[in-house]
Amino acid sequence: MRTVSGPTDHVVVIGAGLSGLATALHLLGAGRRVTVVERHAGPGGRAGRLELGGYRVDTGPTVLTMPHLADEAFAAVGDSLHRRVELVPLHPAYRARFADGSGLDVHTDGDAMEAEVRRFAGGTEAAGYRRLRRWLEKLYQAQMHRFIDTNFDSPFQLLHPDLARLAALGGFGRLDPQIARFLSDPRLRRVFSFQSLYAGVAPARALAAYAVIAYMDTVAGVWFPKGGMYALPRAMADAATDAGGEFRWSAEVSALERSAGRVRAVRLESGERIACDAVVLTPDLPVVHRLLGRTPRRPVPLRHAPSAVILHAGTDRTWPELAHHTLSFGAAWERTFDELTRTGRLMSDPSLLITRPTTHDPSLAPRGRHLHYVLAPCPNTTAGYSAGTWRGLGPRYRDSLLAELERRGLHGFEASMERELLVTPMDWAAQGLAAGTPFSVSHTFAQTGPFRPRNLVRGHDNVVLAGCGTTPGVGVPTVLVSGKLAAARITGPPRATGARRRPPVTEGHAR
């Protein structure tokens, strides 16, 4: 594995999002001096926190899977996730509701889910689910350490027996047909294939290998951190501080001072100069390229994942049919993905993720109130409407979303709202996110593994990238891995320990 050359005693990490915090913890654990520079007043990055009239709103991801990957970062400094954060395992992980009025709870326990599938669709589908579950487990085992949790220096690293195992499992086929080998009910197939949208690719075109995200969601377990998702970056920053890390909050980076192929210092807008031996860049790729002074050439331009509109709503009531996470599917499916990724139109029959974090933490809202988060995927600003168009489109789309929620049984939703915040691609673009999407570069084959923007930068001997725009990719688990991989580029691979095992989880805590 290639590593940064020369001295690496003092590392500056730019960005205190999940990837930057993971990088900092792993570097601190390896004995490096670390300074983290963050433009916001606190940690989190996209996984930030907003106070909305007494409601504490998570501004980014709301689904936590694979918490042991976060625990690896804490363990690097002799700390632990369960000491810092109380995690509640979600049962069910999701509730799925369909346009025909049917619904099922998605359990990560195999026996519970088999019984639910049998109730929902009969014994044949229940047996198919069991086979699907075994396939997902094998897919994960074939991919995680060889293709996800690894630093690539060359595509030739793919030539490994695990590649043959992945091919034998059908990982290089298309996701939809592979899921259909196990399940004939189209509603169930949606439950195990919608996750490809996280990777920015429609199920009909996504590699079956991306069913590994369904493994994380439907087999490995879904958790909720008490205090909201923001509790995770807050705890990581606290652990890094206790381990000797230094944080510069509300500090905007203006330039990198370079000479002889190395970054010698980071300059802040305030005029301060922070000398360093190496630097880790975690912002979105356009910001990274601006700081480096050039955009790397690629045979074809990068393609970005669809974006999302999010309605944060603080309400004076809730609806008992909602779980912590509820997937509300429209009748359309293939057409929906075509609109999101090809034609650039808004979903004519949307599928929505509705999250109610006050289900497990009422303190996130004023007494007797509830917090709802409605996510509607939409085209990014390259495929669809420009960022500026959303200034007028946003309020109209908000009204159509509320009308859709009413049609789907959440009667009185708009009337119940005391506080609200609408986030559109215009807002994502204003944060400096390419194509107005928080989901970064999509996971097409040409943008996966060694073909994704790598975390070492050609022409810069001591610069490393982390975050969802580089390897391994998008999502909370993968950006945590990206931080570990970035640290390893500076420190070399960690010595073999038991850290890679998947630790047991007990009710209330991840261990």
Residue 302 has pLDDT above 70, yes or no: yes
How many Cα atoms within 13 Å fall on the side-chain side of residue 386? 2
Average pLDDT, the chain: 92
Q: What does the pLDDT look like over 227-268, one tens digit per residue?
A: 999 999 999 999 999 999 999 999 999 999 999 999 999 999
Residue 496 has pLDDT above 60, yes or no: no
- Provide the pLDDT for residue 216: 93
- Provide the pLDDT for residue 249: 98
Between 122-136, 156-170, 210-224, the lowest mean confidence (pLDDT) is in 156-170
Confidence of residue 500 (pLDDT cuts 50, 70, 90): very low
Specify whether the CB–CB gap between 373 and 310 falls below 8 A: yes
Specify whether the CB–CB gap between 276 and 8 falls below 8 A: no
Specify whether the CB–CB gap between 312 and 420 falls below 8 A: yes
- Provide the pLDDT for residue 159: 64
Q: What does the pLDDT look like over 371-409, one tens digit per residue?
A: 999 999 999 999 999 999 999 999 999 999 999 999 999
SS (H, E, C) 161-202: HHHHHHHHCCCCCEHHHHHHCCCCCHHHHHHCCHHHHHHCCC
Q: What share of the chain is helix, strand, coil (3-state, %, to 5)?
A: 40, 20, 40
Cβ-based neighbours of 259, under 8 Å, separated by 6 or more: none
Residue 163 has pLDDT above 70, yes or no: yes
- Provide the pLDDT for residue 156: 58
Average pLDDT over residues 15-30: 98
Q: What does the pLDDT look like over 319-368, one tens digit per residue?
A: 999 999 999 999 998 899 899 988 999 999 999 999 999 999 999 999 99
- Provide the pLDDT for residue 243: 98
Residue 498 has pLDDT above 90, yes or no: no
Using DSSP, state whether 390 is helix, strand or coil: helix
- Provide the pLDDT for residue 497: 42
- Provide the pLDDT for residue 509: 37
- Provide the pLDDT for residue 494: 67
Number of Cβ atoms within 10 Å of the Cβ of 509: 17
Average pLDDT over residues 78-98: 97
- Provide the pLDDT for residue 161: 73
Task: Give this prediction's pTM.
Answer: 0.93
